[in-house]
Amino acid sequence: MKMLITGGAGFIGSNFIFYMRRMHPDYDLVCVDKLTYAGNMETLAPVMGQPRFTFVRADIADRAAMYALFEAEKPDVVVNFAAESHVDRSIEAPAVFLQTNVQGTQVLLDASRKTGVRRYHQVSTDEVYGDLPLDRPDLFFTEKTPLRASSPYSASKAGADLLCGAYQRTYDMPITISRCSNNYGPYQFPEKLIPLMIANALEGKPLPVYGDGLNVRDWLYVEDHCAAIDLILEKGRVGQVYNIGGHNEQHNIDIVKAVLHILDKPESLITHVTDRKGHDRRYAIDPTFIHDELGWLPQTAFEDGIARTVRWYLDNKPWWEKIVSGEYRDYYERMYAHR
Ligand code: NAD
Ligand code: TYD
């Protein structure tokens, strides 16, 4: 079994590579990553040079490079994690989101079709469904919820999902899609809520909470997401969308307080700042289908997962300190200095 994993130098892709090494040591893994600001070779250091692991630096939207790579490697399975993934950056500069998330996906689909892969899996997000109102806790995203993206990021992911559906039907390709809720865990880039708050708290900086902090996200430990994808690859039905989430809805402000509590830092560090444009109010996945059909259930309780995550950032300071002291500083200035 040879699996081509795109975006493997990022947060979820790298966790997926580590997960697959443990669960399927006999698989050949080929990681393709452009190494944008979010890709980090230090993350992949534990697997580099190991047998059955190959790293290729390339852009998924580069058609010639992808065709040559697929021809040379002939992967059995493709799992596409590669994406521009941050909503705030998509509000600032949407073009690269369409380039990577839509055109990149199309190139991968064409290459997969040309070489006849056994499975193409698209890693998507619950954000393609738009948001839910805060005063309707009875509503959840199911696989049948219409796509109603609200940010350039989620619109680009929705576009990619539609392409996957179209290629599956038109060319009868073996495609599956998963739509997961917000992930947290080791190796998440510090621009995202949880690692940003951990890093700022450790550095004694203000913790910038957008708006009233009452927006709700449905948090899943990254390894539970990886396990769900593995299961979909093994037992999932072609042409099917699988929502992934663990019924762990939390207000942003409560997440931030939980981080401060674990680190024993004062809540006075919390600073409410101008809200994100078009800020989605609530995400909430109904995971009934993946549970009923594949038997998937999350294994990590939030209290354990968040404690483990904070511990990881404490134990791996060089990993994130290098990031927050580099070009990320310009991004942080642009995004937060006058907010
Ligand atoms: P990330 O930003 O941490 O990593 C993205 C990786 O893709 C980086 O290594 C980057 O270098 C690479 N990349 C970007 N553009 C590329 C290109 N053109 N060619 C090749 N590689 C490229 O993102 P993440 O949080 O790990 O998300 C991975 C996937 O999971 C994305 O598709 C995202 O939409 C989806 N997802 C994320 C979450 C979440 O909470 N983070 C939740 C659901 C779904
Ligand atoms: P984020 O991690 O960017 O994920 P997403 O927007 O894809 O859900 O943000 C999670 C939530 O936290 C979202 O409601 C925006 C909010 N947030 C803040 O309040 N402050 C911050 O500095 C960041 C990065 C996010």
Query: Looking at 59, 84, 126, 230, which residue is catalytic?
Result: 126
Tokens of 130: 């738009």
- Residue in 85, 131, 210 to alter for ligand 2 test, most ligand atoms within 8 A of Cβ: 210
The answer to whether 267 is a known catalytic residue is no
Q: What is the spatial distance between Cα 196 and Cα 188, in angstroms, rounded to a whole number? A: 9
d(CA 84, ligand 2 centre) in Å: 15
- Indicate if the pLDDT at residue 339 is higher than 90: no
pLDDT for residue 46 is more than 90: yes
Name the phi and psi angles at 190, rounded to 5: -70, 5
pLDDT at residue 222 tops 90: yes
Domain that residue 120 falls in = 2-336
So what's the pLDDT on residue 75? 98
Three state DSSP letters for 76-121:
CEEEECCCCCCHHHHHHCCHHHHHHHHHHHHHHHHHHHHHCCCEEE
Q: Summarize pLDDT for 89-126 with one digit per residue, the tens.
A: 999 999 999 999 999 999 999 999 999 999 999 999 99
CATH number at residue 20: 3.40.50.720
Closest ligand by atom to 4 CA: 1
For residue 205, what pLDDT is reported?
A: 96
Check: CB of residue 87 under 8 Å from CB of residue 151. Answer: yes
- Count structural domains, the chain: 1
The predicted-structure confidence for 249-307, as pLDDT tens digits, reads as follows: 999 999 999 999 999 999 999 999 999 999 999 999 999 999 999 999 999 999 999 99
238: pLDDT strictly greater than 90 = yes
Cα(192) to centroid(ligand 2), Å:
6
How far is 171 from 184, CA to CA, in rounded Å?
Answer: 36
Interval between CA 119 and ligand 1 midpoint (Å): 20
Question: Is 126 an annotated catalytic residue?
Answer: yes
Between the CA of 34 and the centroid of ligand 1 the distance, in Å, is 11
Predicted TM-score (pTM) of this structure: 0.98
Q: How far, in Å, CA of 227 to CA of 16, rounded?
A: 8
- pLDDT score at 63: 98
For residues 272 and 214, the answer to whether their CB atoms sit within 8 Å is no
Residues 303-322: tens digit of each pLDDT: 999 999 999 999 999 999 99
Q: From the alpha carbon of 213, which atom of ligand 2 is closest?
A: 19
SS (H, E, C) the chain: CEEEEECCCCHHHHHHHHHHHHHCCCCEEEEEECCCCCCCCCCCCCCCCCCCEEEEECCCCCHHHHHHHHHHHCCCEEEECCCCCCHHHHHHCCHHHHHHHHHHHHHHHHHHHHHCCCEEEEEEEHHHHCCECCCCCCCCECCCCCCCCCCHHHHHHHHHHHHHHHHHHHHCCCEEEEEECCEECCCCCCCCHHHHHHHHHHCCCCEEEECCCCCEEECEEHHHHHHHHHHHHHHCCCCCEEEECCCCEEEHHHHHHHHHHHHCCCHHHEEEECCCCCCCCECCECCHHHHHHHCCCCCCCHHHHHHHHHHHHHHCHHHHHHHHCCCHHHHHHHHHCCC
Tell me if 286 sits within 8 A of 243, measured CB to CB.
Answer: yes
Mean pLDDT of 18-36: 98
pLDDT digits (tens, 9 = 90+) for 174-215: 999 999 999 999 999 999 999 999 999 999 999 999 999 999
Q: Which ligand is nearest to the CA of 190?
A: 2
